[in-house]
Amino acid sequence: MKPILIAISALVAGVLLSVLAPQIPQSARGLLTSTGLVTASGVDARATPAASEAGHGASGEAEGTLRMDAARIETARISLATVEAGTLSRHLVVPGVIVPDRNTIWRIAAKVVGTVAELRKGLGDEVRPGEVLAILDSREVAEAKSEYVGAQVNFGLQKTLFEREETLWQRRIQAEQQYLKARNAFTEAQLRVHLARQKLSALGVSDQEVSGLSMQTVNGLQRYEIRSPGGGRVVERIVDLGAPVGGEGQAKELFVIVDLTSVWVELTVSTADLAEIKEGNRVRISAGGTDRRSEGKVVFISPLLNQDTRSARVIAVIDNKDHGWRPGSFVNAEVAIEEARVDIRVPRAALQTMEGSPVLFVRTETGFERRKVVVGKEDDQFVEIAFGVDAGEVIAVSNTFLLKAELGKAEAEHSH
């Protein structure tokens, strides 16, 4: 009996408010409007007990809420995430091909005429910087080393004579002319040593090997070591043991070494999209049919266009320490052409549409609460939320269609 009396009283109050609403002062009308008792046109029907009961389910839950415990959430494979700030990126997808980094390709050539006496490295071998790849027998090198050794011997002799003449001249025992002659011979011998050393350096003989040359190492002067200027892997070995190299009509290159710890991606970008790409833009690389992904950045944009394809050559560099990216492979590249920092960002999969409005499902102590939101900017993966949720709240980000279906079913049952 009491609930019926309450309902009748509320109905009468509602009628009176409807009649008197135009006469309510503006300040009081604003207060009633904020509490939901009066709308802009009159009384809000939801303020009456009858409407309030209609907005609750059989379990007493408020409209837009759904009971669901942690075990049921886990069974439904509904993932949760905390709402936070982030970056939205707009991408341009273009085709590309993996090529070696041109800065890490070493073409090892013979700077002298000779014959291959030893091959220390073969196809596929790993090479460290400065490691010996091959040894040649070269008459040219033997002559240069002999010249250097001879210059060293002469320098030592002239130095001794100069020091002796200098001592005698200082004691006024020797004439100045004799002293000056000895000093000139010493200077000339010093210059010959310097020139002989420069000649060996030009032939590619290492400073360490030159420093070890003396009268005691006259044997094997024809041996010429070919060392690698950088690290990597031997991808080509052009000569065989005993082959003549360096001469007219003979092989000049011996090895090709490539370091594939980083590779280039040559992107083909049309003239319509070229203006949106800048050097330094982030690039995400993927290969069709695999789940392999890598990130890099654009390092070069050619100022020239290909006359046939009317496209520009764009180079991106990516890390390849595991050697998973092989030169020659075709890939897809997503170039980030615009980035914007937003205060609240959620995954696109977290959003659902109900009653024509985008909604999120916010985690509560008993389950989830449907929350209408206002969306802003968006990219391929995320959407900015301009209004509706706060940073730090926990929302459902996967299988949210299950929550939408469950809530829709519950509200349909409650309306009957």
Give the model confidence (pLDDT) of 66-95 as tens digits: 888 888 888 889 999 999 998 887 888 889
pLDDT for the residue numbered 309: 74
What's the CA dihedral at 367, 370, 375, 379 to 10 degrees?
A: 40
Overall average pLDDT of the 280-308 stretch: 87
CB atoms under 10 Å from CB of 21, counted, come to: 17
Q: Are 231 and 127 in contact (CB under 8 A)?
A: yes
C-alpha separations of 115 from 5, 145, 214, 249, 329 in Å: 115, 17, 24, 14, 38
Q: At residue 281, does pLDDT exceed 60?
A: yes
Mention every residue, 6+ apart, whose C-beta is less than 8 A from residue 252.
109, 110, 245, 246
Does the domain formed by 91-102+259-340 have CATH 3.10.450.50? no
pLDDT for the residue numbered 306: 76
Overall average pLDDT of the 285-289 stretch: 85
Confidence of residue 265 (pLDDT cuts 50, 70, 90): very high
Overall average pLDDT of the 234-243 stretch: 91
pLDDT-wise least confident of 35-44, 97-106, 242-251, 407-416: 35-44
Q: At residue 259, does pLDDT exceed 50?
A: yes
Residue 145 one-letter amino acid: K
For residues 65 and 73, give the distance between their C-alpha atoms in angstroms, rounded to a whole number: 15
CB atoms under 10 Å from CB of 382, counted, come to: 19
Look up residue 41 and give its two tokens: 């046109």
Residue 135 one-letter amino acid: I
For residues 33 and 27, give the distance between their C-alpha atoms in angstroms, rounded to a whole number: 10
Q: Are 154 and 192 in contact (CB under 8 A)?
A: yes
What percent of the chain lies above the pLDDT cut of 90?
32
Confidence of residue 199 (pLDDT cuts 50, 70, 90): confident
pLDDT for the residue numbered 126: 92
pLDDT for the residue numbered 128: 93
Provide the CATH topology of domain 65-86+341-415.
Answer: 2.40.420
Residue 393 one-letter amino acid: E
Look up residue 79 and give its two tokens: 């993932």
pLDDT for the residue numbered 204: 79
Confidence of residue 339 (pLDDT cuts 50, 70, 90): confident
pLDDT for the residue numbered 256: 94
- The larger pLDDT score, comparing residue 8 to residue 156, is at 156
Overall average pLDDT of the 170-199 stretch: 87
Considering the chain, what is the average pLDDT of its residues?
A: 80
Query: Cα 287–97–294 angle (5° rounding)?
Result: 45
Locate the domains of the chain by residue range. 2-54, 65-86+341-415, 91-102+259-340, 109-256
Strand partners, 230: none
Q: Which of 260, 230, 254 is nearest to 128 (CA)?
A: 230
Q: At residue 369, does pLDDT exceed 80?
A: yes
C-alpha separations of 18 from 35, 49, 51 in Å: 16, 16, 16
With a threshold of 0.75, does the pTM exceed it?
no
pLDDT for the residue numbered 62: 66
C-alpha separations of 13 from 8, 20, 55, 72, 400 in Å: 9, 10, 20, 44, 41
For residues 100 and 110, give the distance between their C-alpha atoms in angstroms, rounded to a whole number: 23
Overall average pLDDT of the 48-71 stretch: 57
For residues 176 and 169, give the distance between their C-alpha atoms in angstroms, rounded to a whole number: 6
Q: At residue 64, does pLDDT exceed 90?
A: no
Q: How many CA atoms lie within 13 A of 58 on its CB side?
A: 6
For residues 26 and 14, give the distance between their C-alpha atoms in angstroms, rounded to a whole number: 19
CB atoms under 10 Å from CB of 332, counted, come to: 14
Overall average pLDDT of the 225-242 stretch: 91
CB atoms under 10 Å from CB of 311, counted, come to: 18
Helix (H) / strand (E) containing 199: helix 176-202
Q: Are 221 and 86 in contact (CB under 8 A)?
A: no
pLDDT for the residue numbered 84: 92
- The larger pLDDT score, comparing residue 226 to residue 14, is at 226
Token pair 């309030």 in the structure block, residue = 52
- Identical fold for domains 65-86+341-415 and 91-102+259-340, yes or no, is no
Q: Are 225 and 135 in contact (CB under 8 A)?
A: yes
pLDDT for the residue numbered 302: 87
- The larger pLDDT score, comparing residue 246 to residue 97, is at 97
